[in-house]
Amino acid sequence: MNKILTTILAVALGGLFLGACGLIDDDIKSGKAFEPAFPDEDTLTIQISDLGEGESGLSTMSQPLVGDRADLHDLSFDVAWHVNFYARNLLETLWFITRFPPSVAVEEDGVMGDPGEEFEYNAHATWGPFRDDEGKNLEYILHAWRGIDPEDERTVFLYFIAGRPVDSGDEAWVPILVGGAKPFEDNQDRFGLVKLDMDAIRSLDPTEDDVGAITFVYIQSADAHIVAAVGEGVWADDEQTVVTDVTYFYGRSDEGFAVLEFETSTNMEDPPGDALETLHVSTGWIYTGYGRSDATVSGGDLGQASVNLTECWGADHIQDYFLFSSDGLEPDDVFVEDGNVSDCFTPEPLDLGEIDYESIRTAFD
């Protein structure tokens, strides 16, 4: 994936089966000391139970009616479900390996990385190699390091997973996942980054359907939970004919208020046109199930025009307000409004400000 993977892969394989001398802390030997490095379902997935069940989602921008089911609610649910699908695949990959104690665990000081980007560690562990359980003649290895961040003196972890065909040489290892984390410590937030490379997985196993890569960032504190993700070169349609980039942001407070923002390229015209449009959706909801979405479609076959849709719904996910409008459509723009915006749980569009997705995208460069 990048030079950090190249560096840690070389370090890991170079010392993979060196014996651990002297006394080793039981938590290191068992792998328990490295558990805070890895995300779990509570940190990496989007909680959508109070968003309610979704139906078919949104395929085109339509003019709905108050009393109809909220299309943007269903679309937001569908997107959240797909983000969770990728997250759970990632978590299952980690679980498959870390369900066992490490093959090697060492408590020692060391340094890796290029000058100016060194990582000082005080313990490291290796799991595997383990053969896959599906008869695909592949094996996987996980290596993790624990260290101290010199800037804030907090514990920090780095880890990666690589795979290769069974009985091949060290040069055949292909990195498929890389991550880092800072666990809860001294009332500080839990923070982590993890990237799953589906193209790398597919290079090992051509029967895999998914393509591209997805990078997650998660932050968990006493009163909030945040998950952001950037997908690069992932499928843009269910037919798997076009790839695109996508961004997601999810935030939730301990008071039960949640937001989900996403942007992707997709074909929104009916019938489909030649170019992909950009779809941007911001959805907010509260624990009672009441919610609001604001969506904009632009670019692609729309050219310089844009189409906008706002929907609000109650606990039954039935629309009680909608606004459908356009800007720059030929021959005439559209403006249709039904219901009272004051019935929305928030009368103003959600504004999450600028989210630095580029830093997420380049985190492991």
* pLDDT confidence tier of residue 202, bands split at 50, 70 and 90: very high
| 0.75 surpassed by pTM | yes
Contact 178, 194 (CB under 8 A): yes
Pairing mode, if any, of strands 291-298 and 277-286?
antiparallel
* pLDDT confidence tier of residue 162, bands split at 50, 70 and 90: very high
Using CA atoms, how far apart are residues 346 and 161, in angstroms rounded to an integer?
44
Q: Which of 34-43, 206-215, 273-282 has the lowest mean pLDDT?
A: 273-282
pLDDT in tens, 57-70: 444 444 455 667 88
For 364, residues 6+ apart whose C-beta sits below 8 A from its C-beta are 1, 2, 4, 5, 178, 193, 195, 215
For the record, the structure tokens of 226 come out as: 């945040």
Using CA atoms, how far apart are residues 102 and 100, in angstroms rounded to an integer?
6
pLDDT in tens, 278-295: 999 999 998 888 999 999
Whether 104 has a pLDDT exceeding 70, the answer reads yes
Whether 339 has a pLDDT exceeding 50, the answer reads yes
CA dihedral 311, 313, 319, 323 (to 10 degrees): -20
Residue 52: predicted pLDDT: 62
Bigger pLDDT: 67 vs 102: 102
Whether 11 has a pLDDT exceeding 60, the answer reads no
Whether 205 has a pLDDT exceeding 60, the answer reads yes
Residue 223: predicted pLDDT: 87
In degrees rounded to 5, what are phi and psi of residue 21?
Answer: -95, 155
Residue 254: predicted pLDDT: 84
Whether 264 has a pLDDT exceeding 60, the answer reads yes
Contact 76, 281 (CB under 8 A): yes
Using CA atoms, how far apart are residues 169 and 148, in angstroms rounded to an integer?
33
Whether 91 has a pLDDT exceeding 60, the answer reads yes
Using CA atoms, how far apart are residues 56 and 74, in angstroms rounded to an integer?
7
Using CA atoms, how far apart are residues 247 and 265, in angstroms rounded to an integer?
10
Whether 188 has a pLDDT exceeding 60, the answer reads yes
The helix or strand, by DSSP H or E, that contains position 217, with its residue range, turns out to be strand 213-220
Name the one residue in this structure whose structure tokens are 């009393």.
67
Using CA atoms, how far apart are residues 138 and 256, in angstroms rounded to an integer?
43
Contact 175, 5 (CB under 8 A): yes
Angle at 159 between CA 140 and CA 98, to 5 degrees: 55
pLDDT in tens, 227-263: 999 999 998 777 788 889 999 999 999 888 999 999 9
